[in-house]
Structures are given as structure tokens and as C-alpha cells.
Chain A
Amino acid sequence: MLQQLWTESTKPKSLDSLDYHSEISEILRKLAKNSDFPHLLFYGPNGAGKKTRVLAFLKEVYGSGVYTVTEEEKEYKINETSNTTTSCTVLSSKFHIDVAPSDADHHDKVIIQKLIKEVASSHQVNSKQTKDFKVVIINEVDNLTKEAQASLRRTMEKYIERCRIILICESLAKIINPIRSRCLLIRVPAPDQTQVAQILDKISAQYNCKISQQLINKIAIASNGNLREAILYLQSTRVNNTCIKDDQNIAAQEWKLHIQHNIVMPIVKNQLVETMKEIREKFYQLLVNCIPVDRIMFEMLQGVLNQYKDHANKIILYELIKSTAKCENRARQGSKGIVHLEALAAEYMTIIKQFA
């Protein structure tokens, strides 16, 4: 049998089979029953189940047809005069289309303007059986440029009769206010540890992997409320060892250990130029493995805080946190992650020399 990702194969497909946040399911059910709903904006942390809920909701509205999707690549001219085009992948069913315009980088505005207007201005065929309107799902709205978001404003009002827009994003802070005021906001919080553990239990029973409660709890804690990550850990732990031991390390967590052993420890032990040289390589190893700079910094901070948590002078902790936040912000504005990681390491060394 073809090996499938468990995150996909165990994904709930209807509102009834969702495992947690029953109050959100209740709201969605009410909205679906009304046969008419406003634009929706789902927000919440990664892996909390936003997209799953959106699709389950659409199933409630339109029936299971929403899961038969076709994929196509659409190309749009950036403007009438030039020949440059920009493209984005569109998943579409009879009832909805699913796009992530942020793929097109700074041309995302073109996609919003052209694609959504195109969908919105075409009628639903055979409107007796289905609803009068189509649904456009826009993923990762927080990565859209401000211009693209601005061009969404009026489109949302103008075409509301024939087109409802469902926006999905992680952080509401990056969405411009006019868009927020036009949507019904739905917050999807991350599941808590016991909820994650229950779901893992269910999946491991389904795939018949013998796993102890202890390890399940360990995974649930390590996943930090990210259910997708938790299921992936479970699967990768299973793949690594056919018979699962209780005390084994969670496979996908290795980079975190790498940071603790090879970066944090040298910094804490000796604050020398040679150490910098040594950890530069380790930083490169992490970056090559596509680990985001802000996550590396966050792990480093966790590590050093742990080292000095019982230190008499509390100021060192505050200073460490402050410098991490500063470097992270700079890394976001800049483009070369390695520079900022090294700057952070140097900052740590200075602080440790000064206060410890």
C-alpha cells in the first residue's frame, strides 16, 4: 500500500468528526444552516486546524463535492503593456477555489485583482441545486503585501452577492484593519496537551502501533500545541523503529538537541573568538536544513535561560531575552540570517561575561 502521510489520511472531513473546539463547530454549523454567510477570517497558530475547519465547513454548505479538486496553474499578465506574467497554483472544485497568492511574491496584487474578479464576475451554473455564490479561500493572508490587501477591500464589498471570501492567516496583526472590519473573525486556538494526546492515541490505535502513554505524552508536550507536527512526530517515530521504546528521542526534534549541545553549551562554557568560529559551522548546518532563523533564536534563548535560571543576578535573564528580541527583529528586516545569528551569539557572550 502506498504510504500516506498520517496528517492527510486522518484529517477529519466533516464538522461532526472534528475532535476539539466544539464551540467553533457549532458556530460554523449555524452559519452553514443559514445558507448565507459573511466573509470569514480564520486566525490561529500553526497546526491548530484552521484549514481543516474551513473545508469541513464548506462540506457542510455544499456537500462532499468540495473534496474533489483539480489543480491548475494560472498565468496572469502583470500589466497590459508588458509581456511578463506571474502565475499561481489554483485548486478548484465545482464550488470553491483555493489559492495562496503570496506565492507570487510582490505580484500578488495582480492575482488578487484578476483572479478574484474573474471568479466573482462569473455566475454559478445551475443555481437551483447549489448556492448562488462561490467561495474563494485565500491562504496565508498575512504574507500578502499591503497593496494586495488594499485591493481586496473593495472587491470584497462589490462582489459579496456572488462570491464569499474565506481568509486564513496565522497572525491577525499583519492584516490591515479595513479587511478585518469586513470579515467575521473566527479564532482557532491550538489544542491543549490532553487533546493532542487523545488524538495521537486515536491515530496510533488506528494504525496499530504499539506506543506507550508516556511517549505519547512526550510527543504532545514537544509539539507545543501544533497538531500537524505532533502527528508527523508520531509517524516518524514509528518509521524509525518498528517496535517503539518508551525512552527513545522524538525523531524530528534532533535539531533542537543540536542547538543545545553544539551552540548553547560552547557559548556558556567559553566566550572566545575560537568558539564563534566553531559555532558558525553549526549555524550553517541548521540553515542548510531550512530551519527558520527565528526558531533557531528561540531555541537558543530557551537553552541559555535554562543554563542561568538559578543565577543570583536576575538581570542576566532579562538582558538575554532583550537581545534575542532585538536580533530577531533585525533578522526579519535584513536578509542574511547567518549574520544575525552570529550577532546574537556574540551578544550572549558579552552578556555572560558582563553579568555572570
Chain B
Amino acid sequence: MQNRTLNQFNKNTSAMQVEEPVVKPMLPWVEKYRPNKIEDLAYQEEVVQSLQGVLKTGNLPHLLLHGPPGTGKTSTIIALAKQLFGPDFWRQRVLELNASDDRGINVVRNKVKKFAEQIVAKNPNPGFLCPSYKIIILDEADSMTNDAQSALRRIIEDYATTTRFCIICNYITKIIEPLVSRCVKYRFKSIPENEQIERLKFVADSESVTYNLDALKQLVVVSGGDLRKSVNMLQSSSTLYEKSINKKAINEISGFIPDEQIEDLVSVIQTKSIRSVQEECTRVIQQGYNIEQLILQFLDVVLATDTIKEKQKAKMMEIAAYTEKCLIEGSAEDLQIFNLMAQCQRIINEN
């Protein structure tokens, strides 16, 4: 958070020099509508409940928040800090480090340790609980090296009286065991569709964007439970289409592949001609679609097709999984997609 305070400092000085009211730049909606209280948090009831206990007693254990992206992990801890220390004061008590900061072993040894060592007074801010410790947030901790994580082990224990740690990550398996065992773990669940729609409705209404329910539903589908992604998409589609969004607009900007294209692919693998498979694949590649997305949607349509037998579907899914692995490793897209489609055709024609 030090960086953020620094930013504000810069902004103030520049405003003085220009001697002109600086127009407030567009804030991303995800930042604008970040919940300020943990009660406002969407869906994560268990987490909210136990953290409300913390707010009453001021007794905060080390936290480990994990779960898929866009479920409110960073929002939770920031909201908690705000409520604990007060909205003006919390920046001084919180150090936020994320993957954009250098977090090698040296940083842990110097910066983190120095911050952790400081002793703070209890309750300098009337009206808030403001207990006598600071919070260090290690965001996106799954990208920290194991060395840096091991260096944290002892620091966490030694300075527990003055500093509480909050480790945030997507994959708990990437955090070394000794760190995991020192923290209280909270798992954040993917946010279900109706909760997301409620939240999106709230944002759209406050920004006076006109929408229909179909569009919001499609937003949730393409974002796959990632609330940040859907809010971001809502914002970019509303700037593009002048404050009114519909299903087509959402498809356009999300990289969702049109259903007709996928259906073409599925029908072509049910023919016998390899040449037409090849032509269709070339066309897909030239359209520049996101291949990962293509495989996902392709499997969806294949699963829903009744003319393909269950056993064939199973085999096709295995090949799709293999292709996805190859693509992640950086293989040539045209070749791999061609292989996937050709093998699917073979499976269908075998029986």
C-alpha cells in the first residue's frame, strides 16, 4: 500500500502545479465498486461470519485466503483492514505486496522484516477498534519463490505480536506446507449465477447502463464465475456500445466464439472427408479465435449432440485434453487443432 499512498502524494503535488481542477480520470469499476465493508461481500457467508467475530474482538489470526480469481479475496482483506483501522488510517497499518513488486528472498529479509518489526500504538484512531498490530498482505503469493516463502516462516512466528500476515493465492498447493500450517485457511467459493447477476445489476444501475437479463446472464457465462472479469467486461462493453448492452455485444468483446462456427466444426467431423476438416480448421485459424475457448465450446456442443455415442464422446474428450496440454506448451495451433478434429472424425467413423 505504500505505493498507493505515494501515488496520492504525487497526484496532490501535480494538482498544485497545474493550478487547475484535475478531471477525475476513469476509475475501473472493479476498484470503484470494491466493497468497503465485509458485510457487502458477495456470497462468502462463512468467511464473512468468522471475520465479523474478528471485528468485535480485534483478535486476528494469520490468514490464508485461497480460491479462484474474482471471488473477492483481496476485497475481503482490504475491507477488513478498513473496518479495523478506519478508512483514513488503514493505509499506514497495511503493507501490500503483490507480484508486480519484487518479492525475492532479499525483499522478504529486508522490507517485510523491517515493516514487521515496527511496534504500533493501540487505538490512536477513535471510533475504530484499531488493535495494536499491522497487517502485511502478500497478494498473489503463488508466484513467490519457495526460498522467499521459507524465509517468511520464521518471520511470521517471531513478529506475531506486532504483525499479522494475510497470504492470498489461487492455488493453495503452491504455498509451502510450513506456511499453510501457520495460517487459518479460508476457501473462497465461485460465486453462483444469481448472486453475480445481483451484483452486476447493482453496478449497471449505479452507472446508468441499460441492460436486459439475457445480457447479464451471458456475462456470467463467459466470465465463468469470475466477478472481476464480468464487471470489467460490463465496463468495456458499456464504453463501446454507449451505455446499452445486449447479448451480442457481450459475445463480441469477450472472445466467445459464435455458435455457428462451433456447429460447423461438429458437423464437419461427422462427414468422411479429411479435406473438408482441413479447410474448416484453416478457416478457424485465420479467424484468429482463441483456441482454448474453441476447445471448451467444441466439447460443450459435442456433449450435447445425441448422434455421437457416449463412448465416442469419452474418447474425444481425452484427445481434447491432450491437445490443450500441447497448446499450453506452445505447440503450433493449426497443427494441433487439425489433429484434434481429424482424430475426432476417426473416432466417429470407426463404429
Q: Which A positions have Cβ atoms within 8 angstroms of B?
A: 27, 30-31, 34, 36-38, 43-45, 48, 79-81, 113, 117, 121, 123, 127-128, 132-133, 146-147, 150-155, 157-158, 160-161, 171-174, 177-178, 180-182, 184-185, 187-190, 192, 224-225, 294-295, 297-298, 301, 305, 309, 314-315, 317-318, 321-322, 324-325, 328-329, 332-333
Instruction: Given A151-B99, A152-B100, A325-B339, decide whether A158 and B3 contact each other with a Cβ distance below 8 A.
Output: yes
* Candidates A30, A155, A314; contact of B274 at CB < 8 Å: A314
In the complex, what distance in Å separates the CA atom of A178 from the CA atom of B338? 28
Residues in chain A near residue B101, CB distance under 8 A: 113, 154
Give the Cβ gap from A246 to chain B, nearest Cβ, in Å.
26
In the complex formed, the residue of A with least CB distance to B227 is: A181
Residues in chain A near residue B323, CB distance under 8 A: 325
Give the Cβ gap from B335 to chain A, nearest Cβ, in Å.
5
In the complex, what distance in Å separates the CA atom of A301 from the CA atom of B335? 9
- From DSSP, what is the main secondary structure of chain A's interface residues? helix
Flag if B286 contacts A45 (CB, 8 Å). Answer: yes
Flag if A294 contacts B335 (CB, 8 Å). Answer: yes
B304 at interface, CB cutoff 8 A? no
Flag if B18 contacts A154 (CB, 8 Å). Answer: no
Residues in chain B near residue A155, CB distance under 8 A: 100
Flag if B254 contacts A317 (CB, 8 Å). Answer: no
B4 at interface, CB cutoff 8 A? yes
Instruction: Count chain B residues whose beta carbon lies closer than 8 angstroms to a beta carbon of A.
Output: 72
* Candidates B10, B14, B106; contact of A81 at CB < 8 Å: B106
Instruction: Given A132-B25, A181-B70, decide whether A328 and B240 contact each other with a Cβ distance below 8 A.
Output: no
Residues in chain A near residue B313, CB distance under 8 A: none
In the complex, what distance in Å separates the CA atom of A188 from the CA atom of B286? 9
Flag if B106 contacts A80 (CB, 8 Å). Answer: yes
Query: B328-347 vs A: 1/0 string, CB under 8 Å?
Result: 11111111101100110110
* Candidates A31, A117, A173, A182; contact of B290 at CB < 8 Å: A173
Residues in chain A near residue B242, CB distance under 8 A: 30
Query: B5-38 vs A: 1/0 string, CB under 8 Å?
Result: 0010010001000101001011110110000000
Q: List 6 A-B contacts (CB under 8 A).
A: A121-B7, A146-B143, A298-B334, A305-B278, A309-B275, A322-B343
Give the Cβ gap from B7 to chain A, nearest Cβ, in Å.
7
In the complex, what distance in Å separates the CA atom of A121 from the CA atom of B100? 14
Flag if A154 contacts B254 (CB, 8 Å). Answer: no
In the complex, what distance in Å separates the CA atom of A328 from the CA atom of B100? 34
Residues in chain A near residue B127, CB distance under 8 A: none
Residues in chain B near residue A154, CB distance under 8 A: 98-101, 139-140
Give the Cβ gap from B72 to chain A, nearest Cβ, in Å.
14
B235 at interface, CB cutoff 8 A? yes
Q: Which B positions have Cβ atoms within 8 angstroms of A?
A: 3-4, 7, 10, 14, 18, 20, 23, 25-28, 30-31, 69-70, 98-102, 104, 106, 139-140, 143, 223, 226, 228-229, 232, 235-236, 239-240, 242, 253-255, 272, 274-275, 278, 282, 285-293, 323, 326-336, 338-339, 342-343, 345-346, 349
Residues in chain B near residue A37, CB distance under 8 A: 239
In the complex, what distance in Å separates the CA atom of A88 from the CA atom of B326? 30
* Candidates B20, B143, B240, B275; contact of A150 at CB < 8 Å: B143
Flag if A153 contacts B239 (CB, 8 Å). Answer: no
In the complex formed, the residue of A with least CB distance to B292 is: A173
In the complex, what distance in Å separates the CA atom of A161 from the CA atom of B4? 12
**A30-B239, A173-B327, A314-B272 given; 8 more Cβ-contact pairs under 8 Å:** A27-B240, A38-B28, A81-B106, A132-B25, A150-B143, A153-B98, A173-B290, A224-B286
Flag if A298 contacts B288 (CB, 8 Å). Answer: no
Residues in chain B near residue A190, CB distance under 8 A: 286-288
Flag if B239 contacts A34 (CB, 8 Å). Answer: yes
Flag if B239 contacts A38 (CB, 8 Å). Answer: yes
In the complex formed, the residue of B with least CB distance to A192 is: B286
Flag if B18 contacts A333 (CB, 8 Å). Answer: no
Give the Cβ gap from B275 to chain A, nearest Cβ, in Å.
7
Flag if A174 contacts B289 (CB, 8 Å). Answer: no
Residues in chain B near residue A44, CB distance under 8 A: 288
In the complex, what distance in Å separates the CA atom of A100 from the CA atom of B164? 40
In the complex, what distance in Å separates the CA atom of A125 from the CA atom of B170? 40
* Candidates B7, B228, B326, B331; contact of A181 at CB < 8 Å: B228
Residues in chain B near residue A128, CB distance under 8 A: 20
In the complex formed, the residue of A with least CB distance to B103 is: A151
Flag if B253 contacts A185 (CB, 8 Å). Answer: yes
Flag if B239 contacts A329 (CB, 8 Å). Answer: no
In the complex, what distance in Å separates the CA atom of A324 from the CA atom of B288? 22
